[in-house]
Chains A and B, each alone.
Chain A
């Protein structure tokens, strides 16, 4: 009964939204921060997926860490929550696609999601875990797209 009234009063959804914001935002900032200092490695990690042409993969590798950090900051502070969460979620879907692609093609790579990346021994691959993790983060993003209203957000502060 307690849970139900908490849900109906909106406090539980508020709390979940805040949690979703923190998880999605912190993961994005973290993932970007560990990669942003070594753009060459990041480019290498993207190339290892063999999804994009060589040069394009390089550009993605250079730009992605910065995009992740900026999106993460928006999500954590709750500014344009719905839009930033939507972009973050699309990013996660792209990662899931990339990892599945590599898995399906039999490449042995580290996703390089949090630094590192590139080819590794087949026994070291962690595709199921990487996909599961990104699916969980996508769920956080989806929640925020559906219900972007969360406590302690700049959206709330600035735009009421």
Chain B
């Protein structure tokens, strides 16, 4: 057996001093505890996922947290165009201006399945809740069959300065612009005020995030990422995907 120096060290070490091992263990335990507590708190702070018994908005495709089909007219052989956007993202506003009318027209003609996924991560970035409120309101508009119109109305009124968000009065104004009137407007208002589709907004954020969408706008044709240039190029890609 090899000679062991520990006995010798023990005799040299002054007695009664603080014990390195005990202090070290206590501190290590405190660090681990601190981190675990932070993870648990962080995890609880995010909205609980689904299973709250709430009904998904009309037009949702692809299961929990899926996008909303902007127009039900799609032909069976039409390619799927998925757009991931955030109502508060300025680039999404520019995208909507440049590509929105083209996509809407294609969807109306039934030439594409135009699926819109509204994400809310800019709420976290900007420290407000406008993306979530606008997404909830748009989902309520989907229940009234006016998702596409509402979606366009929100982007048309996007504040010039990122972070100013949307007021409740604006959200109501968008409903009128989208052509929701009479009893449908009352239903929409109730749905919006009660945050009926807040959970849906959280689900979309979760599902899209898990699918690897970390930036908006992201556009996919039949599940494949598309590099954006011009609406004409996009139309060409869509045509190519169809055949």
Contact = CB atoms under 8 A, between A and B. Distances in A.
B172 to A, nearest CB: 28
A44 interface: yes
Given A70-B31, A74-B27, A47 B43 contact: no
Contacts, number: 80
Contact of B42 (A50, A58, A107, A160): A58
A50 B38 contact: no
A62 B214 contact: no
Interface in B79-134: 121, 124-125, 127
Contact of B125 (A41, A50, A83, A159): A41
Interface in A46-64: 47-48, 50, 54, 58-59, 61-63
Contacts of A47: 209, 214
Interface stretch (A32-40, A89-97, A126-134, A136-144): A32-40
Interface residues of B, number: 29
B46 interface: yes
B20 interface: yes
B25 to A, nearest CB: 11
A118 interface: yes
A interface majority secondary structure: helix
A104 interface: no
Interface string B21-47: 001100100110011111101110110
Contacts of A41: 124-125
Contacts of B215: 48, 108, 118-119
Nearest to A39: B42
Interface in A92-126: 107-109, 116, 118-119
Given A47-B209, A50-B214, A118 B125 contact: yes
A66 interface: yes
Contacts of B16: none
Given A71-B31, A80-B27, A159-B18, A65 B38 contact: yes
Contacts of A1: none
Nearest to A155: B20
The 9 A-B pairs at the shortest CB distance, nearest first, are namely A62-B42, A119-B215, A39-B42, A66-B38, A63-B35, A63-B39, A62-B39, A54-B210, A40-B124
Interface of B: 14, 17-18, 20, 23-24, 27, 30-31, 34-39, 41-43, 45-46, 121, 124-125, 127, 209-210, 212, 214-215
